Amino acid sequence: MTVNGWILILLFAALVAAVARPLGGFMTRVFTGERTLLSPVLRPVERGLYRLAGVDEKTEQHWVTYAVAMLLFNLAGMLLLYGMQRVQGLLPFNPQGMAAVPADLAFNTAASFTTNTNWQNYGGEGTMSYFVQMAGLTVHNFVSAATGIALAVALVRGFARAGCRTVGNFWVDLTRCTLYVLLPLSFVVALFLVWQGVPQTLGAAVDATTLEGAKQTIALGPVASQEAIKMLGTNGGGFFNANSAHPFENPTALTNLIQMLSIFALGAGLTNLFGRMVGDERQGWAILAAMGVLFFLGVTLAYWAEAQGNPALTALGIDTAAGNMEGKETRFGIAASALFAVVTTAASCGAVNAMHDSFMPLGGMVPMINMMLGEIIIGGVGAGLYGMLLFAIIALFVAGLMVGRTPEYLGKKLEAKEVKMTMLAVLCLPVMMLGWTALAVVLDTGTASMANAGPHGFSEALYAYVSAAANNGSAFAGLTGNTLWYNLTLAVGMLVGRFFVIVPMLAIAGSLAAKTRAAASAGTFPTHDTLFVGLLVGVILIVGGLTFFPALALGPVVEHLAMNAGTLF
Amino acid sequence: MESQKKTGRRSSASTMLDPAILVPALGDSVRKLDPRLMVRNPVMFCVEAVAALTTLLLLRDLATGAGNIGFAVQIVVWLWFTLLFANFAEAVAEGRGKAQAASLRKTKTETNAKLLPNNGEGGTDRWQTVPATRLKTGDLVLVEAGDLIPSDGEVVEGVASVNEAAITGESAPVIRESGGDRSAVTGGTQVISDWIKVRITAAPGSTFLDRMIALVEGAQRQKTPNEIALNILLAGMTIIFVIAVATIPSFVAYAGGSVSVLVLVALFVTLIPTTIGALLSAIGIAGMDRLVRFNVLAMSGRAVEAAGDVDTLLLDKTGTITLGNRQASEFLPVSGVAERDLADAAQLASLVDETPEGRSIVVLAKEKYGIRGRDMADRHAHFIPFSAQTRISGIDADGSAIRKGAVDAVLAHVRGAGPTVAASRGGAVAAIRPNALADAAEREVTAIAERVAKAGGTPLAVARDGRLLGVIHLKDVVKGGIRERFAALRQMGIKTVMITGDNPMTAAAIAAEAGVDDFLAQATPEAKLQLIRDEQAKGKLVAMCGDGTNDAPALAQADVGVAMNTGTMAAREAGNMVDLDSDPTKLIEIVEIGKQLLMTRGALTTFSIANDVAKYFAIIPAMFLAFYPQLGALNVMGLASPESAILSAIIFNALVIVALIPLALRGVRYRPVGAASLLRRNLLVYGLGGIVIPFAGIKAIDLIVNAIGLV
């Protein structure tokens, strides 16, 4: 570990903390329907869209209606994306003449982009036409992110309101989020990336002759625009197979920093929105602080592990002082790669600038733990906040009684219904992550895809399902995912991991909104101080993390111990 | 009952741990293994299911002679012990209530009632004997001296002294009479003297005594809302651990190893929250029992939980904040009258006044001026008793007439106009028409009276032969230590509101002296009800106590309504708790008991979940060691062998239940401090302690297990 490395990590953390408040303030105005700086330009567009769709922006929805609207919208989007891939040969903007995507892969990809996962069982430059990339994938990058944010806002409204039947209007939230938040920010970030050298063209790939005289096809395309929303919307689906390790996606150290910041920006801002909407910004800071503690724990472990270098190489007399550089880009180095890996899995982004498969066992374990916890460390846009709030409900339910009152959060009594829905939401992650892994590692069709044996192969399969169910989308690599088995099971993991969390969460939002608000007093459990942050972190690690202890022990932990003993897998 | 009440109050859990309760509890522990009973507790039901499964596997292994039988037998035995310990905790908690229910049942012997047919039109001597169980609501019965009152009812005619020891444990008889707030009688109590006619208000089987028996016995114990929610959480966690454990065999198979069902079961049972699962119902029963021992009956567990959540306490001034009786503290003469003369007249007028106020005047006169009691016999004395109509009492003796009483009444008397009936006592000063105060003495008395009222006292004017002498200052004496209790309540975030019939000035003075946060002066039942609604609209939970029929709406509206046992049937029906001692001060303790119940539940839940960390570190390395020897590095406790590690974890898991039974029954210690410091302390003890203690405990058990060669 170097001083430079730590300066980068601390600078990054400071930048995230700095953007949280202004973004939170802006988003609060957007979602409460107040005027913003962009209103003069965008308000007519917004009104036009409502008129076109026949949406009355004044009418709010009961949580069930909100959930149905959200599900229908996502179903329609998924079907459309599936169809688009299947007939891409007939569609325009296909200079490379890409053929139709096979059914199982198209299904997997449709589920992946609808759920904001962006797991890619394909190489973008070799499979998808420009049209599918732009009209299909990039559009989903926007709307799946907007869906997540809208849902988080609905839950926050549940806490903020009292005696209210409705939680907002899904169509309005979706439109406002896309129009006022995602589009303008993406525009700015895309321009920045173009300036840094990221291509943005509809022209075909370029054929070049290398110095050795070999012919090489250099893939191009509308990269910058997809790159911006890939980060801001915590999507993670790269234009190129190599994702953010590719020099055309992430050319410089500066783009690397801005890309990481883009991943965290909206998620961090939402915690502030939460604080503002419930009328006490400290509540938002406490949530962000809990995320921060977990983030630093992860970064420290991952950076330390990667900085160590592989003892097997050291034993061969190779200088590993630079750390474990396998699978990393030299223009980023250890710290920026380890940090990126933690950021991308803490949030539900899944973009990668280094190969997680080549990380040291413990370095690769950190991204896994981040995802196993349900991506609540900043998390996917919206998803991170509601995931964290679900954990806050558990924490307060377990420990809240210790102040001698029945559990409450922000004046809302936590009762049987909230607990039931929270447990339903929390349960589906281990079912998907551990259940599918358990099947994959004993079925031939599952093990056939693993590139490595032993604990490392196990980690590859585990990582895939964890990434899918957590809607992350990053891959450990080493696993051949484009098989019928993995295409289907991973798609199920992604869909369950997304929608089986969302629906109970919305039920909680509806139930909370209907409740009266209990007045705060000196006897109320304080949820804005360090004690609460510590409690929340403890509950997340014990309730959310320990479930995966056996699996981790059999994967990265044993691999690490074996490596130190001189055995590699 | 009598002795129970005296010793039972505030007694510790030790009364629960006496052999009379423990021995039957042992039997109950086995009886409760019935799966039909067990299914009510999802966590322990899971334990029972896997215990049964491993027992079957053990029997198979015994038949085939396969496996490590000695180890398997021990695991299976400890699984059953885990269940028995859980049942034992519940049985002990129920034990005390059962004993009390049995003694209550004795009073519910077969009684006969003297039914007055046709609504008593035939006169009181035309009764017919029917068994009490056949009485219907609305029947009229006659109860005479020596009779047991056959059922709950309202006195419609007569007055009698009633021994209510069967219900309250208090043997001194109380007066029950028709009309007013003391008209309710309870079935099973006994009329000592005189007779009453009672209109039956309870259907057979639902009398107060029946409900009380059911309550203390816990027969119809329903899970409280928070308990239900907590059970859902625990069930959810159990399912998570089912997944965590059920996927292990497949992971292990991939790694080329194997793992026995027994070990998986051991991991599962230690991971699921058995500690809180085992003690949850015992905690609830013990909390209710603490109230019962405190002579308060909660009609539902929900009420006890609500008590912990209370934000606002409405407290009656008299009896709760101040001592019931006002005491004379000062003689304040008008100018031209010596203080001693005033004292002399006041003492003379009070000599036969048997009210506490009257007696305190005599005492003050003696203390201050040495004025002794006088023999009235030779003075042609004629006493005028106090009446609610005149609000004046006095004496005519030696040719002079001394009157004392409410200031406005005495002023009216002096003017010869008779008392102003409309003005209320205490609120008198304002009611005086200023144009009538021509006389300087009148003005002076009014001024003094106002000063007294402002200081929180009650002024009593004294006049002799139509001439005003001055004012006696009757002081409301605030109870010692009450100020500190209110300060403690404030730290807990609970607001106290004093309810009083006094005028606002007097009320403000007493409120300031007692340190309450707010007061409601000249309180009417409507004002009380409105105050409760206002507080609730602000999102606060309100507790109050009351006894009169006109309190019933407020009692029903309050989140915690404690009805006094001396009160009317209407009040008792409206409240969700009944205080058998009729002591309004108890409201504070009721809140504390509610909080203690919730805290105990939270502390043990936290402890139970925190325990998991150590258990993982005990069992995971042991489980995988055979095929991944490297994982021995996770054996941070240095447990001797995989078998002893697993056995130690399961023994710890079972023993910790037993170790925590006293805490579950006694409750976590409650301190009246703010939520933040309460939480800090409890998190440290039960959260951090919950993580650390099992590491030490499992290690210690492992040492013992190896020392005596169990594996």
Tell me the pLDDT tens digit for each residue of A257-270.
Answer: 999 999 999 999 99
Mean pLDDT value across residues A283-300: 96
B308 lies within 8 A of chain A by CB: yes
Match 């003094």 to its residue by tokens: B448
Q: Is the pLDDT of residue A176 over 50?
A: yes
* Cβ pair A441:B251 closer than 8 A: yes
**Partners of residue B195 on adjacent β-strands:** B144, B159
Q: Which of A313-322, B259-268, B278-287 has the lowest mean pLDDT?
A: A313-322
Q: Within 13 A of A388's CA, how many CA atoms are on the CB side?
A: 38
Contact A404 B233 (CB under 8 A): no
Token readout for A353 is: 């600038």
Would you tell me how many other CB atoms lie within 10 Å of the CB of residue A162? 16
Give whole-number Cα distances, B126 to B111, B116, B129, B135, in Å: 19, 7, 10, 17
**Number of domains chain A contains:** 1
Assigned domain for A159 exists: yes
Q: What ranges make up the beta strands (E) of A121-183?
A: 166-168
Which residues lie across from B562 on neighbouring strands? B545, B577
Tokens of residue A308, six digits: 């160590």
- Residues of B recognised as catalytic: 316
Are B476 and B457 contacting, i.e. CB atoms less than 8 angstroms apart? yes
Q: Is A525 on the interface with B (CB under 8 A)?
A: yes
Q: What is the DSSP letter of A328?
A: B
Positive or negative: CA dihedral B46, B48, B53, B54: positive
Q: Is A394 on the interface with B (CB under 8 A)?
A: yes
| Phi, psi (deg, nearest 5) at residue A191 | -60, -40
User: Three-class SS of residue A57?
Assistant: coil
The position carrying tokens 């009609």 is B299
Mean pLDDT of the region A44-70: 95
Establish if A539 belongs to a structural domain. no
The answer to whether the CB atoms of B490 and A522 lie below 8 A apart is: yes
Are B182 and B172 in contact, with CB atoms under 8 Å apart?
Answer: no
Q: Cβ of B599 under 8 Å from any chain A Cβ?
A: yes
> CA distances (Å), A134 to each of A128, A138, B461, in order?
10, 5, 95
pLDDT of residue B693: 96
DSSP A553: I
User: Taking all residues of chain B, what is their mean pLDDT, rounded to a whole number?
Assistant: 84
- From chain B, the residues in CB contact with A535 under 8 A are 683, 687
Q: What is the pLDDT of residue B378?
A: 62
Residue B194 · residue B161 · CB < 8 Å: yes
Q: Which candidate, B374, B365, B321, B296, places its Cα nearest to that of B594?
A: B296
- Is the pLDDT score of B423 beyond 70? no
Which of A424, A426, A434 is opposite residue B244, by nearest beta carbon?
A434
By the 8 A CB rule, do B549 and B154 touch?
no
Best probe of the B interface among A402, A433, A568, by most B CBs < 10 A, is A402
Structure tokens at B589: 């303790």
Q: What are phi and psi of B158, to 5 degrees?
A: 95, 175
SS3 A339: helix
Highest mean pLDDT among A307-311, A449-453, B397-401, B630-634: B630-634
Q: Decide: B467 and B411 in contact? Cβ < 8 Å.
A: no
Per residue in A390-449, pLDDT tens?
999 999 998 889 988 899 999 999 999 999 999 999 999 999 999 999 999 999 998 888
Q: Which residue of A has its CA nearest to B268?
A: A547
pLDDT digits (tens, 9 = 90+) for B43-68: 999 999 999 999 999 999 999 887 78
The reply to whether B487 touches chain A by the CB within 8 Å rule is: no
> Which chain A residues are within 8 Å of B595, Cβ to Cβ?
404-405
Chain A residues 172-231 within an 8 A CB cutoff of chain B: none
Q: Give the one of A399, A411, A424 whose C-beta lies nearest to B683's C-beta.
A: A399
Sign of the alpha-carbon torsion through A312, A314, A315, A317: positive
A403 touches chain B (CB under 8 A): yes
Residue A535's closest chain B neighbor by CA?
A: B683
CA–CA dist A199, A217 (Å, integer): 15
Q: Name the residue of chain A whose CA is nearest to B591's CA.
A: A404
- The response to whether B250 counts as a known ligand-binding position is no
Q: Is residue A250 part of a domain?
A: yes
What's the token pair of residue A211? Answer: 């110095």
Asked whether residue A497 is domain-assigned, the answer is no
In chain B, which residues have their Cβ closer than 8 Å to the Cβ of A430? 240, 243-244
Given B240, B539, B686, which is nearest A519 (Cβ)? B539
Q: Which domain holds residue A195?
A: 21-203+217-280
Residue B6 has pLDDT above 50, yes or no: no
Quick: pLDDT tens for B323-372: 767 788 889 998 888 888 888 888 888 887 777 788 888 888 888 888 87
pLDDT of B8 above 50: no
Residues of chain A in contact with residue B538, where contact means CB-CB under 8 angstroms, are: 519
Task: Pick the closest to residue A569 from A556, A551, A447 (CA basis).
Answer: A556
Alpha-carbon separation of residue B82 from B47, B64, B87 (angstroms):
8, 27, 9
Q: Which two tokens stand for residue B567?
A: 């009160």
Q: Which stretch of A546-550, B392-396, B701-705 has the lowest confidence by average pLDDT?
A: B392-396
| B408 belongs to an annotated ligand binding site | no
B5 pLDDT more than 60: no
Confidence of residue B433 (pLDDT cuts 50, 70, 90): very low
Helices (H) and strands (E) in chain A, counts: 23, 6
CA distances from B164 to A518, B189, B192 (A): 40, 5, 10
Span A464-480, average pLDDT: 90
Give the pLDDT score at B264: 95
Asked whether A369 and A342 are in contact (CB, 8 A), the reply is: no
* pLDDT attached to residue A383: 93
Q: With CA atoms as reference, report the closest residue to A420 among B233, B225, B40.
A: B233
Q: Is the pLDDT higher at A246 or at B206?
A: A246
- Rounded CA gap, A130 and A88, in Å? 9
B114-155: per-residue pLDDT in tens? 888 877 676 667 788 888 888 888 889 999 888 888 888 888
**A247 torsion bin: left (phi>0), alpha (psi -120 to 50), beta (else):** alpha
Q: Look up residue A222 and give its DSSP letter.
A: B
Q: Enumerate the residues of chain A whose CB falls inside 8 A of the CB of residue B609.
A: 398, 539, 542-543
Q: DSSP label at A556?
A: I
Question: Annotated binding residue at B392?
Answer: yes
Residue A136 lies in a domain: yes
pLDDT of residue B426: 41
Decide if B674 and A404 are in contact by the 8 Å CB cutoff: no
* DSSP designation for A348: T
Q: Is the pLDDT of residue B430 over 50?
A: no
To the nearest whole angstrom, how far is the Cα of B148 from the nearest Cα of chain A? Answer: 42
Q: pLDDT per residue over A75-90, tens digit each?
A: 999 999 999 999 998 8
B277 min Cα distance to partner chain A (Å): 13
pLDDT at B202: 84
The answer to whether A355 touches A245, Cβ cutoff 8 Å, is yes
| Partner B contacted by A163 (CB < 8 A) | no
pLDDT value of position B420: 40
What pLDDT digit, counting tens, does each position of B554-605 carry?
889 999 999 887 777 788 888 888 888 877 778 888 988 999 999 999 999 9
- Assess whether pLDDT exceeds 60 at residue A121: yes
Report, as an integer, the average pLDDT of A357-370.
93
Contact B200, B138 (CB under 8 A): yes
Is this prediction's ipTM beyond 0.85?
A: yes
Distances (CA, A) of B305 to B224, B287, B485, B533: 8, 10, 21, 20
Structure tokens at B283: 């905690």
Does A361 contact B at CB distance below 8 Å?
A: no
Residue B437 in 3-state DSSP?
coil
Q: Is the pLDDT of residue B16 over 80?
A: no
pLDDT of residue B220: 62
Domain assignment present for residue A244? The answer is yes
What is the reported pLDDT for A308? Answer: 87
- E strands present in A315-440: 408-409, 412-413
Instruction: Give residue-wise pLDDT tens across range B100-111.
Output: 787 777 766 677
CB-based contact B309 A437, cutoff 8 Å: no
Is B547 annotated as a binding-site member? yes
Whether A523 and B494 lie within 8 Å, measured CB to CB: yes
Nearest-CA distance from B685 to chain A in Å? 11
Closest by CA position to A284, among listed A372, A392, A176, A181: A392
Q: Among A58-62, B12-16, B87-91, B395-399, whose mean pLDDT is lowest? A: B12-16
Q: How far apart are the first and last CA of chain A?
A: 25
The residues in B 332-361 lying below 8 A from A, measured between CB atoms, are none
**What is the distance in angstroms between the Cα of B596 and the nearest Cα belonging to chain A?**
6
Q: Considering only CB atoms, which chain B residues are within 8 Å of A410?
A: none
Higher pLDDT, B516 or A241: B516
Nearest-by-CA chain A residue for B592: A404
Domain-embedded: residue A274:
yes
Chain B hits for A435, Cβ within 8 Å: 243, 247
B255 vs A contacts (CB less than 8 Å): 454-455, 458, 554
A404·B670 Cβ contact <8 A? yes
Task: Please judge whether B493 and A523 are an interchain contact, meaning their C-beta atoms are less than 8 angstroms apart.
Answer: yes
B244 touches chain A (CB under 8 A): yes
Residues of B in contact with A548 (CB under 8 A): 244
For residue A549, the chain B residues in CB contact (below 8 A) are 244, 616, 620
Question: B43-57 burial, b if ≥16 CB within 10 A, otherwise e?
Answer: bbbbbbebbeebeeb
| Residue B254 to residue A535, Cβ atoms within 8 A | no
Instruction: Test B613 with A546 for CB contact under 8 angstroms.
Output: yes
Question: To probe the interface with A, which of B240, B560, B590 has the most A CB atoms within 10 Å?
Answer: B240
- Across A332-346, B2-16, B509-523, the highest mean pLDDT is recorded for A332-346
Q: Tell whether residue B390 is among the known ligand binding residues.
A: yes
User: Is there a domain that residue A459 lies in?
Assistant: no
